[in-house]
Chain A
Amino acid sequence: MAGLIVRRFFQLILLLIGISFLVFTSMYIAPGDPAAIIAGPTATKSDIDAIREDLGLNDPFLVQYVRYISGVLHGDLGYSYQTKQPVWEAIMTRFPNTLNLAIASIMVAVIIGVVAGIISAIRQNSWLDVSSTVFALAGISIPNFWLGTVLILIFAVNLQILPVGGLDHPFYTVEGMKQLILPAITLGTGSAAMIARMSRSSMLEVIRADFIRTARAKGLKERTVIWVHALRNAMIPVITVIGLNFGFLLGGTIITEQVFAINGVGRLMVQAIAARDFPMVQGSVLLVATLFVLVNLIVDIIYVFIDPRISYD
């Protein structure tokens, strides 16, 4: 177990180096001279040259990369071209919103997905099963930005019971929860669909296993059999799907934040891409990718804990 964690940890570091290298290189080869962008349209050539020298843009590529990385390790991601604000600061003020949204969505996805999947499995071919299958199919086909818009249309514009957007109250307050409901449903639906499909097929497989027959034979209540014995084993593949979906949701926040005008990292990224604000793009992409691989690592480790049969040797 300890060996696994150590080995995974080294792989993680290699992967992070790869990610940072890729992100840095892509911004390096992107057209447009950063010095000219910072200097503005009225700058003279000597102004631009001075800025370039100042930022060390004349140094060899690898020197610049190493300097960037050591900056990252010290919490320095450079300065935004647009607002001149430190990138780290800009990201960190918005990151809580993104995290809140992602966590709320994964909760929606897991609750709806697992419950729908299990009910489908234990009542196979009933109308509940059919409707849950249809829901799963629709869930992966609905563009989430459109679902968000339609939810706003129904609950904010017509019924006027939930706010149109924004996220400026803490999530534990009533206002904050009201603001999170629609975005979380919007973002969580696609993942709920995938989790439902996985839970259903996994549960169907487990229900037919010998140990479930044994559990029933020794007279356990059906509820105990399903929710204690079967669920625990059926959840193993589901956990992978949940882990994968958490990453998926991190990517999805980019769009959902735009729909609900939530000031998160995703919205920051979209604005930065449109404005070609490279340090900002670099910083936010780096953050999301790092988080994603960290989550994957945690999922892998949890996996071994739940199912001792799995080993990565």
Chain B
Amino acid sequence: METGAVAKTDGTPVLVRKKKEKMYVTTLKRLLKNKLAVVGLIIIIIQILMAIFAPWIATHDPVKQNLAESELPIFSDGHWLGTDNYGRDMWSRIVYGARVSLVVGIVSVSLGLAGGVLLGLLAGYYKKLDGLIMRIVDLLFAFPGILLAMLIIAILGTGLVNVAIAISIWSIPTCARIVRGSVLSIKNREYILAMKALGASNARIIFKHILPNCLAPIIVFATMRMATAILSTASLSYLGLGAQPPTPEWGAMIAAGQDFMWTSPHMTVVPGIAIMLVVFAFNVVGDGLRDALDPNMDLNN
């Protein structure tokens, strides 16, 4: 926070506090000291660049078939990652696949955050709502892993949009529980009680004073959740419940490649490495952020 000089009316400063670093600058500095997190950040940045500039980075049309050049191995002329059974360029499909996984990840995590944060704030702040909301959350926790997402897809039908919705709903209970926990630990602090005594409205207290103080766990959750969302999108597409052909989606590419495992193993291996790198990246950055955002963490230890 930047604290200006407290000046007397004639303009002479009596107290000049040293300009303090903004919180995110401190966090970023701490994060960059973590080697694994830096590797993760680089991978994430590459994925973002690939997603944004896909048309310029891809060498071919990702869905254009060319049966004359089907199942070319890796490092073939003009197709450095080879081609699939329809002669589509693997590199271009990977590049466009980065876009699909990033977009589905961001959409589902943001929707999940919106729902989870709101429910968590309400449950933590209003005692009357707490019982009801947390029982619903407990109920949603009874569906292990990807099962809840699959139940939602069973209702909505298959497809990438429905996968994004399903993953976002699946994120709500975990997020709500985390936020509720932080709200409970904050809401009886003195500065909140002071706000109440000053007559601030509940909405003002919740959104201007409690929410900003819950941000650290929310940021960590969101980063880790990106990894889960990307992995789940790929899994659901692999099962045939997500992206439909010819969409270049990594999980669907692996499913398609399985039939050609004997002749063209690169069709399954390459997209798998892409998924693994990205999921790994979000996991280590999440881990790093957790340490970096913790003010009690001793970096030298």
Contact = CB atoms under 8 A, between A and B. Distances in A.
Contacts of A144: 235
Size bin of chain A's contact surface: 35 or more
A119 interface: no
Given A19-B139, A153-B269, 15 more contacts: A27-B154, A30-B156, A142-B272, A143-B275, A145-B235, A157-B261, A250-B144, A254-B146, A254-B150, A255-B239, A270-B150, A273-B150, A281-B151, A285-B143, A293-B142
A68 interface: no
Contacts of B258: 149, 259
B254 interface: yes
B12 to A, nearest CB: 55
Contacts of B280: 137-138, 141
Contacts of A18: 135, 139, 142
A289 interface: yes
Interface in B260-293: 261-262, 265, 268-269, 271-272, 275-276, 279-280, 283-284
B146 A274 contact: no
Interface in A268-311: 269-270, 272-274, 276, 278, 281, 285, 288-289, 292-293
A124 interface: no
B234 interface: yes
Interface in B36-52: 36
A142 B276 contact: yes
B122 interface: no
Nearest to A290: B142
A254 B142 contact: no
A255 B235 CA distance: 7
Interface string B109-141: 000000000000000000000000001001100
8 contacts: A19-B139, A141-B276, A143-B272, A145-B238, A274-B158, A274-B240, A289-B142, A292-B144
Given A26-B151, A281-B154, A15 B238 contact: no
B254 A145 contact: yes
A247 B235 contact: no
Interface string A127-166: 0000000000110111111100110110001000000000
A137 B37 CA distance: 12
Interface residues of B, number: 44
A137 B281 CA distance: 10
A143 B251 contact: yes
Nearest to A30: B155
A140 B283 contact: yes
B147 A258 contact: no
Dominant SS among interface residues on chain A: helix
A251 interface: yes
A23 interface: yes
Given A251-B147, A258-B239, A273 B153 contact: yes
B144 A251 contact: yes
Contacts of A248: 144-145
A60 to B, nearest CB: 21
Given A149-B272, A153-B268, A274-B241, A30 B144 contact: no
B34 to A, nearest CB: 13
B154 A273 contact: yes
A19 B153 CA distance: 17
A73 B151 CA distance: 22
A285 B140 CA distance: 13
A31 B147 CA distance: 20
Contact of A149 (B36, B231, B268): B268
B164 interface: no
Contacts of B275: 143, 146
B279 A270 contact: no
Interface of A: 15, 18-19, 22-23, 26-27, 29-31, 137-138, 140-146, 149-150, 152-153, 157, 247-248, 250-252, 254-255, 258-259, 269-270, 272-274, 276, 278, 281, 285, 288-289, 292-293
Contacts of B72: none
B104 interface: no
A293 B152 CA distance: 19
B154 A149 contact: no
A213 B144 CA distance: 41
A269 B36 CA distance: 38
Contact of B272 (A138, A150, A247, A255): A150
A153 B36 CA distance: 30
Contact of B144 (A141, A146, A289): A289
B154 A278 contact: yes
A268 to B, nearest CB: 12
B160 interface: no
A15 B268 contact: no
Centre residue among B139, B157, B251 by max chain A CB count within 10 A: B139
Contacts of B146: 251-252, 254-255
B31 interface: no
Contact of B261 (A153, A270, A289): A153
A138 B284 CA distance: 10
Centre residue among B139, B147, B157 by max chain A CB count within 10 A: B147
A33 to B, nearest CB: 15
Nearest to B287: A137
Given A270-B240, A274-B240, A289 B147 contact: yes
Given A149-B258, A157-B261, A255-B239, A285 B151 contact: yes
A21 to B, nearest CB: 9
B227 interface: yes
Contacts of B231: 143
